[in-house]
Amino acid sequence: MANIGEFTLHATDGKARTGVLQTAHGPVRTPIFMPVGTVGSVKGVAPDDLDAIGAEIILGNTYHLYLRPGDELVARRGGLHEFNAWRKPILTDSGGFQVFSLSDLRRITEEGVEFRSHLDGSKHMFTPEKVISIQRNLNSDIMMVLDECVPYGADKEYTARSLKMTTRWAQRCRDAYPKGTGDNLLFGITQGGFFKDLREESIGELTQIDFDGFALGGLSVGESKTEMMDILYHSAPFLPAHKPRYLMGVGTPLDIINGINAGIDMFDCVLPTRNARNGTLYTSEGKINIKRREFAEDDGPLDPNCSCYTCRTFSRAYLRHLFHAQEILSYRLNSIHNLTYFLDLVRGAREAIAQGTFAEYKSRFDAIYPQEAALCP
Amino acid sequence: MANIGEFTLHATDGKARTGVLQTAHGPVRTPIFMPVGTVGSVKGVAPDDLDAIGAEIILGNTYHLYLRPGDELVARRGGLHEFNAWRKPILTDSGGFQVFSLSDLRRITEEGVEFRSHLDGSKHMFTPEKVISIQRNLNSDIMMVLDECVPYGADKEYTARSLKMTTRWAQRCRDAYPKGTGDNLLFGITQGGFFKDLREESIGELTQIDFDGFALGGLSVGESKTEMMDILYHSAPFLPAHKPRYLMGVGTPLDIINGINAGIDMFDCVLPTRNARNGTLYTSEGKINIKRREFAEDDGPLDPNCSCYTCRTFSRAYLRHLFHAQEILSYRLNSIHNLTYFLDLVRGAREAIAQGTFAEYKSRFDAIYPQEAALCP
């Protein structure tokens, strides 16, 4: 078996790459999409579903799991894999993003970030050392450093000051968990907002620290598609080629295709599961909303080109009915389909890169989402 | 293959019986419990789950399916089995009970019952002929006649008048669908409230009509356990021995055991799925509420004697966490377990009856639910 943390590139096609990252719970083939399992379950979808869908790694949210059921309780259960019965790799975020987006009364100091729980208002503090301790308790295969996700619209001075602190926090995370201490990998997160020179600066600083992979943070935070693509395509090449590159919280199918095109290896997003619960479903011909009247008597499968349980078993008419009746089953069936779509998308990308046909593969998605494609390089 | 509607008794043990009822979508082994799939899905549980659980027949609610998506739409889809992808037997109620319990402004006349939809307030009329037409559109394997479910506390005069109308409605249902017309079986429903002589009268009248099976209706409507058992044990022996006997809307595990003990063959109830959504779970040692603090660090399975997916895969600690976090997955996993419990219960009863050990089997449940058992014969 390969060494944990080893990242092997098997093929490149332009800037796009395909390879394998070894983790303590097995290999992850890249490019990969990670379904989001916020509180220790991918909403509506059980581990057997995830296996059937072809998921290779899921994401857990440190902020949520720390608050409920608590990372120490999870540690006493043997870690998150034992707790939620998902025995393949798990990546956990550092909790920073959720603190900034969900909690009340956060206060950022050099020490860390103080916040109140969105559940009960109780006061907590995340420091770089604390989030490492939490993620070690969860025993995630890939831990993320604490960072400040700079809000969209922040000025250059704020962004520059913030990225320096993010670098210091990253170093404190690494110091709290020196390389070789355990089987948990640790990724750095680069920031820099929407300033290309600051992006370069952040990457330059972070990559001085010996992390197992590097993320682009602070994208998909409210900016236009054009701005996001501008920063993505500019920044990705500065990330080390021999380490996995992770675009956090992104995104639409076309965002992922562009991320892969720019040389990114890993993605996560709540979009497939959240949209599933809103009735927005991805098909090989584009997005549809299953709510619409036109599907009331449509006996065809959701997507004739999809082989998921939902598409193999049910008609659009039935899925529309379940959605309108607000049946719990609707959320599960829709989530199974949307996650399959995202996992098929990255599997197709891996195959296309291996065959040197990624440009053609990308053009198919550009054709499905022409309005979005017009805003991308 | 046996004739549709054929009911073969394989063994009896006291009054308890085990046999097989042939339907257009295959055999149903009795005694059987039917999971309730109100609007065309058993809440949170897909057909593949139902197969794994060992469900042999499910129940659909005529009232709900008539209102949404509409029985004619379902007919155009090829019937309910094609629509919801459950290819095994389906029983549909007549809609009467839901009209009485859910709809507004109902008005009962000799013609039928007029009501307003609980969804949009629209006005509708169910007649005996109409509910046959709806159930034929749904293409259910077992259709039920329209009846008036007399409210608990109705006096003898009202109950006596009502059961006469229920008999006339039953005859109109049979006339609207003469025996031999199609593959859909038709069951009669006996009423009579909590008056033994009226129960006998209703059964006497209904069994003059050539139905494929007979139900005891109007129980589990608010009466005490003692009253229910009194009527159940008194009435069941009057139902024809060579036809399946169905106790509608019942009940707890001990109610079902007593029903079987009294000679009943079929049961349905929302209890396992509704309780699953409330966190009340049935185990081989009795009911537990998974919400409770004592399960927070309990690494054991929900029920060590259960082989369902939930018990094979997850700990009580995880199930408690999912319930507290209000994750959709909680409802599915809990429903899978509770339905397995009810289906294991009737499977065990079938085996015990075949082996002549039903009294011993029953005593096990009396011991698990001693307070309830004290109220039963």
pLDDT for position A106? 84
Interface contact A324-B68, CB threshold 8 A = yes
Structural domain includes residue A153? yes
Phi, psi for residue A91 in degrees, rounded to 5: -110, 140
* Interface mutation vs chain B, best among A87, A270, A321, A330, most B CBs within 10 Å: A321
Least Cα distance to B92 among B36, B166, B23 occurs for: B36
- Where residue A102 falls among pLDDT bands split at 50, 70, 90? confident
pLDDT for position B101? 80
Q: Which residues of A touch B64 (CB under 8 A)?
A: 325
Angle of helix B328-355 versus helix B271-278 axis, rounded to 10: 140
Q: Can A299 be counted among the known catalytic residues?
A: no
| A69, B253, B313, B336 from B288: Cα distances, Å | 20, 14, 18, 15
**Neighbouring-strand partners of residue B92:** B60, B143
Residues B127-176 pLDDT 10s? 999 999 999 999 999 999 999 999 899 999 999 999 999 999 999 999 99
- Contact between A5 and A19 (Cβ < 8 Å): no
Residues A29-50 pLDDT 10s? 999 999 999 888 999 999 999 9
pLDDT for position B137? 98
Structural domain includes residue B1? no
Domain residues for the domain of A281 are 276-373
Phi, psi for residue B291 in degrees, rounded to 5: -65, -25
| SS3 of residue B287 by DSSP | strand
pLDDT for position A96? 85
Tell me the C-alpha distance between B1 and B5, whole Å.
12
pLDDT for position A261? 98
B2 has a pLDDT exceeding 80: no
Query: A1-32 burial by CB neighbour count: b if 16+ within 10 A, else e?
Result: eeebbebeeeebbeebbbbbbbbbbebbbbbb
Structural domain includes residue A1? no
A104 has a pLDDT exceeding 80: no
Query: A52-86 burial by CB neighbour count: b if 16+ within 10 A, else e?
Result: ebebbbbbbbbbbbbbebebebbbbbebbbbbbbb
What is the pTM assigned to this prediction? 0.97
Interface contact B73-A317, CB threshold 8 A = yes
> Two tokens at B108?
């009962």
Nearest CA in chain B to A45: B329
At which of B223, B253, B270 does a domain end? Answer: B270
Token pair 């956990």 in the structure block, residue: A92
- Contact between B315 and B299 (Cβ < 8 Å): yes
* Interface mutation vs chain A, best among B328, B335, B339, most A CBs within 10 Å: B328
Interface contact A321-B39, CB threshold 8 A = yes
Regarding whether A178 and A87 lie in a shared domain, the answer is yes
Tell me the C-alpha distance between B90 and B182, whole Å.
15
CA distance A51 to chain B (A): 14
Regarding whether B88 and B26 lie in a shared domain, the answer is yes
The continuous run of DSSP H or E covering A12 comes out as: strand A7-13
Phi, psi for residue A95 in degrees, rounded to 5: 90, -15
Number of domains observed in the structure of chain B = 2
What average pLDDT does this structure show over B75-94? 97
- Contact between A376 and A224 (Cβ < 8 Å): no
Interface contact B46-A331, CB threshold 8 A = no
| SS3 of residue A46 by DSSP | coil
What average pLDDT does this structure show over B73-79? 98
**Neighbouring-strand partners of residue B113:** B108, B126
Phi, psi for residue A58 in degrees, rounded to 5: -120, 165
Measure the CA angle with vertex B334, ends A289 and B37; round to 5°: 55
Is the bond leading into A240 cis (omega within 30 degrees of zero)? Answer: no
Model ipTM value: 0.96
Strands A90-92 and A104-108: unpaired
Structural domain includes residue B2? no
Regarding whether A16 and A112 lie in a shared domain, the answer is yes
- No. of helices (H) and no. of strands (E), chain B: 16, 17
What average pLDDT does this structure show over A66-88? 97
Tell me the C-alpha distance between B214 and B212, whole Å.
7
Token pair 């079938």 in the structure block, residue: B350
What average pLDDT does this structure show over A165-173? 98
Structural domain includes residue A123? yes
Structural domain includes residue A2? no
Regarding whether A280 and A253 lie in a shared domain, the answer is no
Interface contact B325-A68, CB threshold 8 A = yes
| A145, B20, B214, B299 from B207: Cα distances, Å | 75, 21, 8, 53
pLDDT for position B98? 86
Distance of CA B157 to the CA centre of its chain: 28
Residues A238-293 pLDDT 10s? 999 999 999 999 999 999 999 999 999 999 999 999 999 999 999 999 999 999 99
Least Cα distance to B166 among B128, B125, B115 occurs for: B128
At which of A208, A236, A270 does a domain end? Answer: A270
In the DSSP assignment, the letter for residue B30 is: E
- Evaluated on CA atoms B73, B78, B79, B80, the torsion sign reads negative
- Contact between A135 and A184 (Cβ < 8 Å): yes
Regarding whether A136 and A204 lie in a shared domain, the answer is yes
| A164, B308, B333 from B313: Cα distances, Å | 45, 8, 10
A26 has a pLDDT exceeding 70: yes
| B9, B57, B267 from B343: Cα distances, Å | 19, 11, 11
Regarding whether B115 and B77 lie in a shared domain, the answer is yes
Regarding whether A242 and A200 lie in a shared domain, the answer is yes
Residues A9-19 pLDDT 10s? 999 999 999 99
Residues of chain B that touch chain A, judged by Cβ-Cβ distance less than 8 Å: 39-41, 43-48, 64, 68-69, 73, 76-77, 83-85, 296-297, 299, 309, 313-315, 317-318, 321-322, 324-325, 327-329, 331-333
Regarding whether A202 and A92 lie in a shared domain, the answer is yes
- Where residue B1 falls among pLDDT bands split at 50, 70, 90? low
A1 has a pLDDT exceeding 60: no
Torsion, CA A231, CA A236, CA A239, CA A241, rounded to 10 = -170
CATH number for the domain spanning B64: value is 3.20.20.105
Residues A335-365 pLDDT 10s? 999 999 999 999 999 999 999 999 999 999 9
Tell me the C-alpha distance between A315 and B112, whole Å.
35
Torsion, CA B347, CA B352, CA B355, CA B357, rounded to 10 = 180
What average pLDDT does this structure show over A316-335? 97
Least Cα distance to B4 among B144, B173, B184 occurs for: B184
CA distance A73 to chain B (A): 7
What average pLDDT does this structure show over B58-74? 96
Residues B340-358 pLDDT 10s? 999 999 999 999 999 999 9
Structural domain includes residue A126? yes
- Where residue B92 falls among pLDDT bands split at 50, 70, 90? very high
What average pLDDT does this structure show over B201-212? 98
At which of A248, A270, A292 does a domain end? Answer: A270
Nearest CA in chain A to B40: A322
Tell me the C-alpha distance between B169 and B148, whole Å.
9
Regarding whether B265 and B283 lie in a shared domain, the answer is no
pLDDT for position A99? 86
Tell me the C-alpha distance between B2 and B4, whole Å.
6
- Where residue A2 falls among pLDDT bands split at 50, 70, 90? low
Regarding whether A302 and A259 lie in a shared domain, the answer is no
Regarding whether B192 and B304 lie in a shared domain, the answer is no
- Where residue B244 falls among pLDDT bands split at 50, 70, 90? very high
What average pLDDT does this structure show over B238-249? 98
pLDDT for position A48? 95
Least Cα distance to A340 among A287, A283, A260 occurs for: A283
Tell me the C-alpha distance between A167 and A184, whole Å.
20
Regarding whether B134 and B36 lie in a shared domain, the answer is yes
Token pair 């096609």 in the structure block, residue: A13
In the DSSP assignment, the letter for residue B3 is: P
Residues A210-232 pLDDT 10s? 999 999 999 999 999 999 999 99
What average pLDDT does this structure show over B297-306? 98
**Neighbouring-strand partners of residue A29:** A20
**Could you tell me the end-to-end alpha-carbon distance of chain A, in angstroms, rounded to an integer?**
39
| SS3 of residue B17 by DSSP | strand
Where does A109-268 have alpha helices with state H? Answer: 128-138, 156-176, 196-206, 225-235, 253-261
